[in-house]
């Protein structure tokens, strides 16, 4: 293979996109393979990659925020434009990255080898309780099942996705590559500088650090903050649900809850250093996903309370210094926080969690699983 074109429907300004793609790109560079990257304009690669990668950022209109059908047609149109641009480059291989299902459904092979990186089963999140969404979900399932057969390899981030791809999409297990989310080596090293034990104080600081979206539904955290005025709560980050959650806290006149908004990664370790307990959640509708933020949490060594089910729980059971509660259950979250306060576990630090992350979930290392399989084809 002489060259590969990577296609993403989201820009590099999205941290989850950049964090996923850069280790893959570095692994291909190690094999001296020419790399093209086609995605919407926004953000940039790390300086050590800029001169090596032919980055094509397309100027695209803003995504509509309302109307399911309008948004679907827009996403499909954008996907076709991205793929058309990629097809003109004449690469010997193409890698399509999915959380956008439309890149997968609009895909037409223009290369000798084709690969798809599935980071999320987004079509499965459509509600069966809504007529239009339910019909769309059945249609998308059918289209994905047909299109997936055009790819030589399929990479997935967790066991739930692997089982779905092999059973529901009928892809042979030999064509599936496990490429978990994780944390970059530089980020891991920066978190290693976080203090190994919380400061001695009677005020416990609970931090949520990450995207503030519908999947996280941080109204659960707001409700807990109302019941625990002697705790301090912090939300670091922004997202589509940020305004709603912040307004709930304002309406409740909470004096023990702070919203920082979006911050740069360089500032994030300081928040981890200040935290006593780290909180994360995914609602039941997203139980098949594993939040990549949890790998970052685990790398900090701090105590974690997670509200969620299924996939994330199966990963967390291999780690210590964490407690799982049902999602969207503020009384359970309150009870968990009081339990951790009473036990004093929030003052401790888990070296074991950092060691496991270092061994199993450093992105630069796991990316080689996909790249080596690609090279061997």
**pLDDT value of residue 198:** 53
Helices (H), the chain: 15-30, 47-50, 68-87, 101-105, 131-147, 159-163, 185-191, 219-227, 242-251, 268-274, 292-300, 311-316, 330-343, 351-360, 363-376
Angle subtended at Cα 193 by Cα 188 and Cα 199, rounded to the nearest 5 degrees: 125
Is the CA virtual torsion 58, 61, 62, 64 positive or negative?
negative
* Whole-angstrom distance, CA of residue 313 vs CA of residue 351: 20
**pLDDT value of residue 99:** 81
Is the CA virtual torsion 152, 158, 162, 165 positive or negative?
negative
* Whole-angstrom distance, CA of residue 89 vs CA of residue 40: 16
* Contact (Cβ atoms closer than 8 angstroms) between residue 26 and residue 364: yes
Beta bridge partners of 34: 3
**In the chain, what is the straight-line distance between the N-terminal and C-terminal CA atoms, in Å?**
9
**pLDDT value of residue 26:** 94
* Whole-angstrom distance, CA of residue 285 vs CA of residue 297: 22
Tokens of 207: 């931090």
**pLDDT value of residue 126:** 84
| 51-60 residue pLDDT tens | 999 999 999 9
**pLDDT value of residue 177:** 95
- Model pTM? 0.86
Pairing between strand 322-325 and 53-58? unpaired
3-class SS at 176?
Answer: strand
Tokens of 131: 């007529």
**pLDDT value of residue 200:** 63
* Whole-angstrom distance, CA of residue 374 vs CA of residue 377: 5
In this structure, how many other beta carbons lie within 10 angstroms of the beta carbon of residue 203? 10
**pLDDT value of residue 81:** 96
Tokens of 355: 């060691």
The closest alpha carbon to 321, from 344, 289, 338, 342, belongs to 344
**pLDDT value of residue 62:** 84
**pLDDT value of residue 5:** 97
- The low-confidence residues of the chain, meaning pLDDT below 50, are none
| 34-45 residue pLDDT tens | 999 999 999 999
**pLDDT value of residue 65:** 73
**Which domains are seen in the chain, by residue range?**
3-182+362-376 (3.40.50.2000), 185-359 (3.40.50.2000)
Tally the C-alpha atoms within 13 A of residue 24's C-alpha that lie toward its C-beta.
27
* Whole-angstrom distance, CA of residue 366 vs CA of residue 241: 32
Tokens of 277: 């307990």
């Amino acid at each position: 293979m002489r060259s590969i074109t990577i296609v993403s429907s989201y820009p590099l300004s999205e941290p989850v996109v950049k964090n996923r793609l850069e280790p893959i790109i570095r692994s291909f560079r190690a094999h001296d393979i020419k790399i093209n990257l086609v995605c919407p304009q926004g953000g940039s690669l790390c300086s050590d990659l800029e001169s090596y990668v032919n980055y094509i950022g397309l100027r695209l209109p803003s995504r509509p925020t309302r109307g399911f059908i309008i948004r679907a047609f827009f996403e499909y149109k954008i996907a076709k434009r991205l793929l058309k641009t990629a097809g003109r480059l004449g690469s010997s291989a193409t890698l399509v990255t999915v959380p956008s299902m439309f890149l997968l459904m609009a895909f037409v092979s223009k290369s000798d080898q084709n690969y798809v990186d599935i980071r999320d089963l987004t079509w499965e999140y459509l509600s069966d309780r809504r007529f239009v969404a339910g019909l769309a979900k059945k249609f998308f399932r059918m289209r994905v099942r047909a299109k997936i057969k055009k790819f030589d390899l399929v990479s997935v981030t967790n066991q739930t996705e692997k089982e779905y791809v092999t059973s529901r999409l009928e892809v042979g297990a030999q064509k599936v590559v496990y490429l978990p989310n994780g944390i970059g080596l530089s980020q891991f090293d920066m978190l290693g500088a976080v203090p190994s034990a919380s400061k001695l104080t009677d005020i416990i600081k609970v931090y949520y650090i990450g995207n503030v979206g519908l999947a996280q539904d941080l109204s659960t955290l707001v409700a807990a903050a109302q019941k625990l005025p002697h705790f301090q709560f912090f939300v670091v980050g922004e997202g589509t649900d940020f305004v709603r959650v912040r307004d709930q806290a304002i309406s409740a006149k909470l004096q023990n809850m702070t919203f920082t908004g979006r911050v740069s990664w360089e500032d994030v370790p300081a928040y981890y250093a200040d935290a006593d307990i780290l909180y994360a959640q995914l609602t039941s509708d997203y139980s098949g996903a594993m939040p990549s933020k949890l790998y970052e949490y685990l790398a900090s060594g701090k105590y974690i309370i997670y509200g969620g089910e299924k996939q994330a729980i199966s990963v967390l059971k291999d780690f210590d210094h964490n407690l799982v509660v049902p999602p969207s259950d503020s009384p359970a979250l309150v009870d968990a926080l009081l339990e951790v306060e009473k036990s004093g576990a929030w003052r401790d630090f888990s070296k074991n969690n950092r060691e496991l992350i270092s061994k199993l979930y450093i992105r630069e290392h796991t990316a080689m699983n996909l790249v080596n399989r690609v090279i061997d084809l």
